[in-house]
Amino acid sequence: MKIFFVSSEVSPFIKTGGLADVASSLPPALASLGHDVRVVLPLYAGIGDQWRSQMTFVKYFYFRLGWRSSYCGLFQLDRGGVTYYFIDNETYFKRNGLYGHYDDGERFAYFSRACIEVPAQIDWSPDVIHANDWESALVPIYLKDFKSVIPQLSKTKSVYTIHNIEYQGRFGRSILEDVFGLDSSHFNEKLLSYYGDVNLMKGAIYASDYVTTVSPTYANELQYSFYAHGLEGVIADNYYKMTGILNGLDMDVNNPAKDSIIAAQFNPDDLSGKAACKVALQKELGLNVDPEVPIIACISRLVGHKGYDLITNVFHRIMEQNVQFVVLGTGEWGFEEFFRNAAKQYPGRVSANIKYAAALSSKIYAGADIMLMPSVAEPCGLTQMIAMRYGTVPVVRLTGGLKDSVPAYNPNTGKGLGFTFGNINADDMLAAINRAVDLYYSDKDAWVALMKRGMTTDFSWDKSAGDYVSIYEKICEE
Ligand code: ADP
């Protein structure tokens, strides 16, 4: 099959979160099944010279969007069996950061509209266009409008994946014609109209031939208003064409036996390197060097839905135990300040790294003992899977992909991969942390067995990539 994968971020070129990981690991997994897979993303200023030097210029063209005639440069890079296309327009993408600009609606409408032009420009007829999250939500909508005038798209079907329903792309009604280039017929209850505004994610859910989200449990949760953030009715209306598929990991990239950034490599048969990574991490972060004390880590955006209210609520009770705590992330000012202060309060025991730092994240995965993820909602979550690959035991709330990837440790059977709790309740979280810390100190053999089970669990794309192909085939047959 010919699959055109659209994403606003793709690792290793540019990344702010899990979407970039998925967009870098699912396409090669599909390609390895024998499919022709091409990925498209914006050419942001932040994409480094090591990638730009490998790109070739394909061509440039102009297209109309609303009243504007917009320039589009197209660059190409082939890597790991996948062709990547980069959409170049300096007005929109030569800026600091990826998101958060006043004209994000216009920037990603431009990107989505450019993606729809690419197949004609390279004379390639994809069977499926697969769009992701609000930034490319206009793709399935433009596809419907343009397939009658672009021959290369006449038979193309669309899949839309919700990676996080909290970010929907909601804009004022006035943006529809002028900025998105869509006439008022698109402003209807079965497409873009939403309480008087334009809601791009809603439109994509209706317009797509199939909708997926990133774990079976999250697909189920999205039927409830608590998780669906106002789109529960839209989900209910479209549930007949929706399913949840658990994300996989690139097992080569996330592999402590091959990771060159960490202090020492290790594998399930020889964990000595992990001990070296722990000491190196303690030294680098100014923590007391003590191989015996368990390090609890958090690596995530410091936002409410990641469960930081629970952590800040009982933080001092967590620290009553003999543990160290490392946090890496940026986000809401209140949480950033909390951890900055905590690091001052607990010198040598708490390390607050309020930044985005890929290399440090690898060192934390490798050097920590426990990964804490008390998320209020977690569509899939990759952090817990990466942690398990590195022998770091997860403590998670049973939601979304956390529930699907971290079966609870059962001391009687010795099975399971981590420590879990169900309610959004700080005491319940604390009890789960305490169970983990107790096992760490009291039964080293059981702890090591738990680490090894996580390290040897198959988190690859093998099964999930096949599930996507089944969906592509099903909609193309219809
Ligand atoms: P989300 O997509 O909601 O941000 P995921 O768990 O799916 O969460 O993916 C987060 C990814 O981003 C993981 O690969 C994680 O290691 C990485 N990450 C998150 N915060 C940081 C940070 N501050 N520095 C480096 N990597 C980070």
27 lines ligand 1 (CB under 6 A): no
Ligand 1 within 6 A of 328 CB?
yes
For the record, the structure tokens of 294 come out as 């368990």
CB 351 within 8 A of CB 247: no
Look at residue 478 and tell me whether its pLDDT is greater than 90. Answer: no
How confident is the model over 230-271, as pLDDT tens digits? 999 999 999 999 999 999 998 988 999 999 999 999 999 999
Residue 394 Cβ contacting ligand 1 at under 6 Å:
no
Helical H segments across 303-419, by residue range: 308-318, 333-345, 358-367, 383-389, 400-405
DSSP 407: P
Looking at ligand 1, which atom is closest to the CA of residue 373?
6
Per-residue pLDDT band at 149 (split at 50, 70, 90): very high
User: Residue 327 C-alpha to ligand 1 middle, in angstroms?
Assistant: 12
**CA-closest residue to ligand 1 atom 24:** 356
* pLDDT band for position 17 (cuts 50, 70, 90): confident
Q: What is the pLDDT of residues 219-228, one digit of tens each?
A: 999 999 999 9
Residue to mutate (ligand 1; options 330, 361, 380, 392; most atoms within 8 A of CB):
361
| 156 CB within 6 A, ligand 1 | no
Residues 128, 476 contacting (CB under 8 angstroms): yes
Check pocket membership of 379 for ligand 1, CB cut-off 6 A. no
Atom of ligand 1 nearest to the CA of 328: 23
Distances (CA, A) of 106 to 102, 175, 424: 9, 9, 37
* CA dist., res. 75 & res. 72, Å (int): 10
Is the Cβ atom of 382 under 6 angstroms away from ligand 1? Answer: yes
The protein residue whose alpha carbon is closest to atom 16 in ligand 1 is 383
Q: What is the CA radius of gyration of the chain?
A: 23
3-state secondary structure of 60: strand
How far is the centre of ligand 1, averaged over its atoms, from the C-alpha of 182 (Å)? 35
Contact 18 CB / ligand 1 (< 6 Å): yes
Give the distance (Å) from ligand 1 centre to CA of residue 96. 19
Q: Which residues contact 18 (CB under 8 A, 6 or more apart)?
A: 163, 247, 380, 381, 382
pLDDT score, position 250: 87
State pLDDT tens for residues 313-349.
Answer: 999 999 999 999 999 999 999 999 999 999 999 999 9
CA dist 402 and 287 (Å) reads 29
Centroid of ligand 1 to alpha carbon of 217 (angstroms) = 20
- The pLDDT of 183-203, averaged and rounded, is 98
d(Cα 70, Cα 19) in Å, to the nearest integer? 27
pLDDT-based confidence at residue 197 (cuts at 50, 70, 90): very high
Q: Residue 21's closest CA among 385, 391, 453?
A: 385
Instruction: Quote the CA–CA distance of 387 and 383 in Å, as a whole number.
Output: 6
Q: What percent of the chain has pLDDT over 90?
A: 98
- The pLDDT tens digits of the residues spanning 407-447 come to 999 999 989 999 999 999 999 999 999 999 999 999 999 99
Q: How far is CA 292 from CA 12, 257, 445, 447, 455, in A?
A: 35, 23, 14, 13, 21
More confident call, 16 vs 307: 307
- 331 Cβ inside 6 Å of ligand 1: no
Mean pLDDT in residue range 168-185: 97
- Fill in the DSSP letter of residue 437: H
- Asked whether 89 lines ligand 1 (CB < 6 A), one says no
> Whose Cα sits closest to atom 17 in ligand 1?
17
Which atom of ligand 1 is the closest one to the Cα of 22?
7
CA of 357 relative to ligand 1 center, distance in Å = 10
pLDDT of residue 18: 86
Q: Is the CB–ligand 1 distance for residue 324 below 6 Å?
A: no
Residues with Cβ within 8 Å of residue 36, at least 6 apart in sequence = 1, 2, 3
Mean pLDDT of 187-195: 98
| Burial (CB count within 10 angstroms: exposed 0-12, middle 13-18, buried 19+), residue 146 | middle
Q: Is 381 in the pocket of ligand 1 (CB under 6 A)?
A: yes
**Dihedral, 286, 289, 293, 296 alpha carbons, nearest 10:** 30
Mean pLDDT of 67-80: 96
Cα–Cα distance measured from residue 396 to residue 218, given in angstroms and rounded to the nearest whole number = 15
Question: In whole numbers, what is the pLDDT of the chain averaged over residues?
Answer: 97
What does the pLDDT read at residue 467?
97
Decide: 319 in ligand 1 pocket, CB within 6 A: no
Instruction: Kindly give the distance from the C-alpha atom of residue 299 to the centroid of ligand 1, in angstroms, as a whole number.
Output: 6
* First and final C-alpha spacing in the chain: 15
Mean pLDDT of 343-367: 97
Q: Are 66 and 178 in contact (CB under 8 A)?
A: yes
CA distance 91 to 196: 30
* Three-state SS at 363: helix
Q: How confident is the model at residue 370 (pLDDT cuts 50, 70, 90)?
A: very high
pLDDT confidence bin for 124, thresholds 50/70/90? very high
> Quick one: 76 exposed, middle or buried, by C-beta within 10 A (0-12, 13-18, 19+)?
middle
Q: How far is the CA of 94 from the centre of ligand 1 (A)?
A: 24
- β-sheet with 393-397: strand ranges across: 350-353, 324-328, 295-299, 370-373, 393-397, 419-421
**228-241 burial, b if ≥16 CB within 10 A, otherwise e?**
bbebbebbebbeeb
Kindly state if the Cβ of 300 falls inside 6 Å of ligand 1. yes
What type of residue sits at position 445?
D
pTM: 0.94
Average pLDDT over residues 72-82: 97
Phi, psi of 348 (to 5 degrees): 80, -5
> Which residues contact residue 21 at a Cβ distance below 8 angstroms, ignoring those fewer than 6 apart?
11, 15, 247, 249, 250, 382
**Centroid of ligand 1 to alpha carbon of 122 (angstroms):** 34
pLDDT at position 455, please? 98
Angle at 354 between CA 336 and CA 399, to 5 degrees: 70
Return the percentage of the chain with pLDDT > 70, whole number. 100
Contact call for residues 402 and 389 (beta carbons, < 8 A) = no
The pLDDT of residue 195 is above 90: yes
